[in-house]
Amino acid sequence: MTTRDDATRGAKVAVRDRVLRAALAAFEDKGPDRVRVQDIASRAGMSSGHVLYYFRDRDRILISTLLLSEESLAERRDRAVRRASDAAAALDQLTRLYLPTGPRDVRWALWAQVLARPPEDIATRDRLQELANAWTLCIAALLQPASPPDGLAAASLYCHLMDGLAMEVLLGASGHGRAWAVREAAAGLAALAR
């Protein structure tokens, strides 16, 4: 049994979701900075005005898409951890999931957009921060048993190291693609989890 509020809220969520999926698809083939609100609207089969009726402005679409993208990646992360044979294998998988697939990686491109113009309200910034924290906690759990006294500190350092590597991949300089980042990360993990 659903009340009116529940029903309309459900519909709203569905429309929002349709927009976000359209946005994600658009970002994948053009890069977030080249995608216009109109592009997203067309893909979602609605007018640009309507898109902005649901998301107050373009930036909110970016942030919401990032949130969606992180959410689905988090699921893959948790599944990978569960399936991994041992901690080392899990860490390897997580590293590969976390690092960008290349200079055009949508998730990282969205992070770059957000960092270029961070949200005004602290609440949203803190919420984005939480996304990073979740990875740190997950990695800390894997590091804890075998490692230095404070696995959390090491995990935090490792995550930030990967952030730095990701940014460099995003820049797209020659010789600094995903493969390079994976190698650097492996070296970093070895040094930090000692």
Partner DNA sequence: CGCCAGTCTAGAGTGTCGTTCTAATTCTCG
Partner DNA sequence: CGAGAATTAGAACGACACTCTAGACTGGCG
Which amino acid does the sequence have at 59?
Answer: D
From residue 87 to residue 106, what is the string marking binding to a copy of itself with x (rule CB under 8 A)?
Answer: ----------------x---
Shortest CB 20 distance to DNA, Å? 14
DSSP track, 139-180: HHHHHTTTS-S-HHHHHHHHHHHHHHHHHHHHHT-TT-SHHH
- The residue within the footprint of a copy of itself, chosen from 37, 157, 177, 182 (CB under 8 A), is 157
Of residues 42 and 144, the one with the C-beta less far from DNA: 42
Show contacts with a copy of itself in window 31-70 (CB under 8 A): 33
- The residue within the footprint of a copy of itself, chosen from 23, 94, 128, 138 (CB under 8 A), is 128
Shortest CB 35 distance to DNA, Å? 7
Instruction: Give me 50's structure tokens.
Output: 């309507």
Shortest CB 47 distance to DNA, Å? 4
Rounded distance between C-alpha atoms, residue 36 and residue 11, angstroms: 24
- Which of DNA, a copy of itself, none is residue 19 near (CB under 5 to 8 Å by kind)? none
Shortest CB 83 distance to a copy of itself, Å? 27
Rounded distance between C-alpha atoms, residue 163 and residue 114, angstroms: 14
Measuring CA to CA, which residue among 139, 137, 131 is closest to residue 66?
131
- Which of DNA, a copy of itself, none is residue 2 near (CB under 5 to 8 Å by kind)? none
Rounded distance between C-alpha atoms, residue 10 and residue 69, angstroms: 20
- Which of a copy of itself, DNA, none is residue 95 near (CB under 5 to 8 Å by kind)? none
Cβ-Cβ contacts under 8 Å for 148 (sequence gap 6 or more): 154, 193, 194
Shortest CB 70 distance to DNA, Å? 21
- Which of a copy of itself, DNA, none is residue 94 near (CB under 5 to 8 Å by kind)? none
The conformational region for residue 135 under phi > 0 = left, psi -120 to 50 = alpha, else beta, is alpha
